[in-house]
Amino acid sequence: MNSRNGSASKVRERLKGLAKVKKRLASGRTVIYCYAWRGGPLLKDKAGNPLQPGDPLLMRAFVEATKDRFVDPTENLNKLITEYKSSTDFTKLSLKSQKEYNRYLDKIRDKFGLMSLVAIQDKRSRGKFKEWRDGMSDKPRAADFAWMVLARVLSVAKDRGRISTNQAERGGRIYSADRTENIWTEDHLAALFAVASEEIKAAVVMALWTGQRKGDLLRAPWSDYDGHHIKVKQGKTGARVKIPASAELRELLDNMPRISPVILTNKRDKTPWTSDGFNSSWSKTKIKANITDLTFHDLRGTAVTRLALADCSVAQIASITGHSLKDVEGILDAHYLGGKSALADEAIRKLERFRLKSNEKEKPA
């Protein structure tokens, strides 16, 4: 008897919060409607019939209905961020990328850190995330990066079974860059070189002849230049490229003093450039040259366009710059229409030469 009472007590404890409503049907039969909690869902079997007290399926239905109702308060976005930072998805990033991610991870913690896993997966959370991003719309690139970091944290959590839905996926972008005419022309380069220091000139020449990112060029050691080729390991993708050094690039490198292990060095301090230090000098040089609408990164696209104008194939361009074939095509097809115009000019010249040769062959002897 005591055993039965004990079992009943345990069942009541496990069904704590269950709400029951008794109703007499027209047939005279009494039915008890069991709800997971007051105002909660009705517990039914697969056929849709109300489960009755004593039915062994009632416990299973109750547990399933309430599994997300009472959760550990420490199971929140703060914990997902901590888990993400311990994952290889984060640790495999470059130190520079980790630093950038951490800035936005801190912002996410401050705003949503205590949001529970249940709330994170609620459809309404997407609206809250969007409102947060909209609050940074005065800096659209930063807003997009913040959203990307949030989406990445939730993506990793979903992949590892911590949540079942990612309310930040496919969020679109606020920032829309139009780089259609952002090519460094010979006039631009002449204006820059007229006021640039030797260190800045060296960086520009390397960028134009290698098509590499600024960060990779600033890290490039002398040991990766053998007098004929320069090897680059790209920090963003990990790709390794071996680029033949042009005559102009060889002349530059062969005559540069080797005052540090790194090629591009701040001669004043005789130390490798820091990113901030180079950016400061670069900005001052552009101001002196009265160039406001071009960036150092545009030199990478300019290099791609120059190679295309020299009749290099997409595959040949990619072998030098380290872009994927798709990215090279994208640069030429969508982003650098200034170069595309020049390519069209060259195409017409080729057609004219071809037509001229054809007409000469058709002339009677």
The reply to whether 61 and 87 lie within a common domain is: no
In tens, the pLDDT along 233-265 reads 888 777 788 899 999 999 999 999 999 999 999
For residue 218, what are the contacts with CB-CB under 8 A and spacing of at least 6?
A: 203, 262, 264, 272, 273, 275, 278
**CATH number, position 298:** 1.10.443.10
Q: State whether 98 and 217 are in the same domain.
A: no
Residue 15 lies in a domain: yes
Range of the domain at 46: 2-66
pLDDT digits (tens, 9 = 90+) for 22-39: 999 889 899 999 998 888
Residue 73 pLDDT: 64
Neighbours of 23 (CB within 10 A): 10
- For the stretch 261-309, pLDDT in tens is 999 999 888 899 988 899 999 999 999 999 988 999 999 988 988 888 7
Domain count, the chain: 3
Q: 142 and 32, same structural domain? A: no
Q: Which of 124, 159, 194 is the last residue of a domain?
A: 159
Of 140, 159, 178, which residue constitutes the final position of a domain? 159
249 part of a folded domain: yes
In a domain, 358, yes or no: no
One domain for residues 48 and 100 = no
Same domain, residue pair 206 and 253: yes
Answer yes or no: is 72 within a domain.
Answer: no
If asked whether residues 200 and 317 sit together in one domain, one would say yes
Pair 256, 114 in one domain: no
Position 53 in a domain: yes
100 and 144 inside one domain: yes
User: Using CA atoms, how far apart are residues 235 and 219, in angstroms rounded to an integer?
Assistant: 9
Residue 43 located in a structural domain: yes
Helix H, strand E, coil C: the string for the chain is CHHHHHHHHHHHHHCCCCEEEEEECCCCCEEEEEECCCCCCECECCCCCECCCCCHHHHHHHHHHHCCCCCCCCCEHHHHHHHHHHCHHHHCCCHHHHHHHHHHHHHHHHHHCCCEHHHHHCCHHHHHHHHHHHCCCCCHHHHHHHHHHHHHHHHHHHHCCCCCCCCCCCCCCCCCCCCCCCCCCHHHHHHHHHHCCHHHHHHHHHHHHHCCCHHHHHHCEHHHECCCEEEEECCCCCCEEEEECCHHHHHHHHCCCCCCCECCEECCCCEECCHHHHHHHHHHHHHHCCCCCCCCCHHHHHHHHHHHHCCCCHHHHHHHHCCCHHHHHHHHHHHCHHHHHHHHHHHHHHHHHHHHHHHHHHCCC
Are 191 and 321 part of one and the same domain?
A: yes
Q: Has this prediction a pTM greater than 0.75? A: no
pLDDT mean for each 10 residues of the chain (365 residues): 53 79 90 89 92 90 78 82 94 88 95 92 92 90 92 94 91 66 86 95 95 92 93 81 91 93 90 91 95 91 85 86 81 56 69 77 64
Residue at 352 is within a domain: no
Q: How far apart are CA 256 and CA 271, in angstroms?
A: 14
Of 66, 87, 119, the domain-final residue:
66
Model pLDDT, residue 1: 45
Q: Are residues 261 and 340 in the same domain?
A: yes
Residues 83, 27 share a domain:
no
Residue 333 covered by a domain: yes
Shared domain check, 296 and 225: yes
